[in-house]
Each structure stands twice: as structure tokens, then as C-alpha cells.
Structure 1
Amino acid sequence: MTDPDPRPRTPSPLVLDFPEPGRRLEHAYRELHLAQHGTAEQKAVIGPFEGLPRPWDPATVKEPRQRRELWAWLEEFVSWLNHEHTWDVGGMIPLCWPLHPHLVHEIAVLADQRRRAGKALTSDALEEWNRYALPAFVDRMKLRLKSHCEERHQEWPGRARHTRHVSDEQRHRRERLYLQDEATRRQPDPESATAAPRLTLVDRETGEVQD
């Protein structure tokens, strides 16, 4: 069988290497490893574990240079993932993914799990990643994005609803509901139990007690 294209080709690998995080991120991973598996002396040097940056949760990476490395790594990871693990465009991560917080959160977890699976001494973790983690991520991405951002980024359709949700009016309304629920769990005051009943007015729309 002859090659239908006789032109010489530039040699290229059949698969691309998984992108590795930078030096500062690797340091963060090393500290996390020692926090789990290190000696008592090593754990004491690390200090409180609560403040350790966790690359799979971008909000915990506070140091600017380390955070810059995180974004660079995730950028490389998305390019690698789109090239190595997708064929139809419907499964590709859109180029505007940094503008989608839900994708940022999930991509960071997906990259971390793939890194861990690649460093394992057996193929079990990588099989789990291919069989469960990656397809589940793609399904959730398709469900949330639908047909948005196929050609260009589209603004958040839920922005108006979110703005109403965080408005002072709606926040105060929810706080009143929380207070009403809290009141049902308070222990009755023994002195007030013997006092004469007192009539109050309640706003039927908001549930607010009026004097």
C-alpha cells in the first residue's frame, strides 16, 4: 500500500506530552504531599495546612507569581486536552473558557486529576480519568453552555437573575426568612411564658412582624 501523499512530511509525535506545571506550582504540590505523608518535623516546617495553596482550587492560590503559573498551566492543559481528547467540535473547550467561572473551577480539577493519574505507578487512575472524569466534565460543559460561545463569547445569560439575587431587597427578604426559622428553635423564656399574651401584626406578604 502506497502513501497517497508523496510529499515529505515533517516528523511529529503521534501523541503530545502532558503539560507539566511550573516550578512554583510543583513546590505547592510538594508541600501538599508532605502535609499528607511527611514526617512530623516536615509537617511542622510547613506550618498550618489550611493556608496551603491547592492548584485544583484556584481561589486558594494567593501568591501572584504562583497564580500566574496556574493560569499558564491551565492554558496549556486546555490546548492539550482539545488536541488529544476531542475530535468533534462539540466536545472542545471554548476559547473563552477563562470568562466562564464554572469552567475554570472544573478545568482546574480535571488538570489536577490527570496530573496525578499520569504519575501513578499503574494505569488504574488514568483509566478512571478517561472513563469517568473526562466524559462527565464534557457532559456538564455541554449542558451548561448549550449552543453559547460556539463561534464567539456570549455574555452570561443569567446575569440579570444573579443581579436580582444579590440585590439588597432580595437579600433582606431572605434574611427575614432565616430569622423566622431561627426563632422556631429558640428556648422559651420562663418569665415570658407566664406573661399575658400579646397580639402582633404580621405582614402577610413578607412575614415581617410589625409592632
Structure 2
Amino acid sequence: MNTDAAREPLVASMVRPFPEGGSMVRLAYRELSIAANGDKDQVKALGPLHMLPRPWDPPTCRRPELREQLWEWLEEVVSWLNREYTWDVAGAIPPCWPQHPHLMHEIAVLADQRRRAGLAFDSNAMEEWHRYALPAFADRMRNRLKDHCEDGHQGWPGRGRYARFTSDQTVHERQETYAADVRTTALGRKIEHKVEQESRPRLASVNLDTGELGDVPDGPQPE
């Protein structure tokens, strides 16, 4: 029998497992699990909970080592999605996805939800991911990208409009609108307070000898 490995056919797995992520990514998820399910001492040892990194929200991953592993994990996830769930090219995530902030945000959430579904003890979460999360992501991606990056990455089509949005003039106009709303709200509160004061019932005193009514001296009024 010939055992020459070079002459044996390569057997590829029919389906590939979902990427797990590096040690720092797994540690981040472990800390989040402790925050949600640990005892009082374990939770206290984590420090401020609002500072814990959330891999589904990349900006919260502030440590460089974790940030590096997060991008490596998401790169593996994108490759996995393009192989396991893409048949027509229209559904493929483009290779320039790291140059699209909207894709980076959404892929991180999609990866997190797929990871959670894979850890469940039944198939309900996986069915939800297949039925809602993945198709919704694909639809939003196609709607935003259209055909801009089919033959390579293209510059941001909305750059000019965003520049106008952040210009000094439009920022000033929005701030003036906000300030006008605050002034209107403050005036409305003053009017409400005045009406409330005028509509409060006033107490009267009764002279037990004569039966005459008189005003109660100024002071706290009943609510």
C-alpha cells in the first residue's frame, strides 16, 4: 500500500467550525460572564464594570493586545462567513471591509451573536441568528455598499456631505436650534409653575366667636 502523503487526496471538511478568537478575546468574554453570573467577590475583583471590554463594540477594547486579537478574530469570522454562507457574489463581504466603519461595527455584533448561539444548549438562538441576524446584516450591507467596491475599494461617497455636516456654519446652526429649544422649554416651565401657584386652593380661617372668615397668613400651602 502506497502511503505517500503527497499522492493521497486532500480531504476537506464539509463545514468549518466557527472561529473561537485568541486568548485575549476569550478572556474578555470570561470576564463578562463573571460580571453577569459571578459572586460578589468575583465581580468586585473585575474593577469598574463599565470599563470591561465588549468584543461586540470594538472601541471598548482599549488594550492593544486585545484590539489586535479582536481584528484577527473578525478577519477569521469574515473569511468563515464568506465560505460557509456565501454562494452568490452579491452576498460576499468585500475584502476592504476594515475600511468601512459600518461593516466593522456590524460584523463585531454578528460575530458575537453567532458565538453566543453556538454556546447555547438548544438550537433556538442559532435559528434566530440564521433567520434574522445574518439576513438582516446582508441586506444592510448590500444597501449601504451597493456596487461601490465590486472592483476594489472606492473612496467614501458621502465624504462631501459629512464635511458639510461638520462645517462651522452647520454646527453653529444646529447649536442655535438646540439653544432655542432650551429657552422655549425654560419659558414653558415658568408658565406652568405660575399657573400651578395660582390654581392652588387657599385656606381660610374662621373666627369661632363671630363666624367671620379671614385669610390664613402667608406660608406653605397644601399640595
1:113 lines up with 2:121 in the alignment:
no
User: Which range moves more in the overlay, 66-75 or 44-53?
Assistant: 44-53
Q: Which amino acid aligns with 1:131?
A: R
Indicate the residue corresponding to 1:10 in structure 2: 10
Q: Give CA deviations for 1:71-108 in whole Å, capped at 9, x if unaligned.
A: 00000000000000010000000000000000000000
Map of 1:176-187 to 2, 5 A cutoff? 176-187=176-187
- Residues 1:75 and 2:75 are matched in the alignment: yes
Write the distance in 1 (CA, Å) between the matches of 2:99 and 2:35: 33
CA–CA distance in 2 between the matches of 1:67 and 1:168? Answer: 34
- 1:39-81 deviation line (CA, Å, top 9, x unaligned): 0111111121110100000011000010000000000000000
Q: State yes or no: 1:52 paired with 2:43.
A: no
What is the TM-score normalised by the length of structure 1?
0.84
Q: Which has the larger radius of gyration?
A: 2
What secondary structure sits across from 1:185 in the alignment? Answer: helix
Match of 1:35 in 2: 35
- List aligned pairs for 1:107-186, cutoff 5 A: 107-186=107-186
Structure-1 residue corresponding to 2:200:
none
Query: Are 2:91 and 1:85 aligned?
Result: no
**Shift of residue 162, structure 1, vs aligned partner:** 0.1
User: Following the alignment from structure 1 to structure 2, what is the Cα–Cα distance between the partners of residues 9 and 136?
Assistant: 39
The one-letter amino acid of 1:126's match is: M
**Among the aligned pairs, what percent are the same residue?**
56
Residues in 2 aligned to 1:116 and 1:186: alpha-carbon distance in whole angstroms: 47
| 1:159 alignment partner AA | R
Q: Distance in 2 between matches of 1:28 and 1:189?
A: 50
Tell me how far 1:36 sits from its aligned partner.
0.7
Q: State the distance in 2 between where 1:37 and 1:23 align.
A: 21
Other structure's SS at 2:11 match: coil
Structure 1 position 8, deviation (Å): 6.6
1:163-197 alpha-carbon deviations (Å, 9 max, x no partner)? 1101111101110111111110114889xxxxxxx
Structure 2: 5+ residue runs without aligned partners? 1-6, 192-223
Structure 1 runs of 4+ with >3 Å offset: 187-190
CA RMSD of aligned residues (A): 1.7
* 1:62 lines up with 2:40 in the alignment: no
User: How does the TM-score come out when normalised to structure 2?
Assistant: 0.80
- Structure 1 residue runs of 5 or longer lacking an equivalent are 1-6, 191-211
Report the Cα offset of residue 9 of structure 1: 3.4
- Report the count of equivalent residues: 185
CA spacing shift, 1:41–1:147, aligned 2, 3 Å: same
Q: Secondary structure in 1 aligned to 2:179?
A: helix
Q: What secondary structure is seen at the aligned counterpart in 2 of 1:186? A: helix
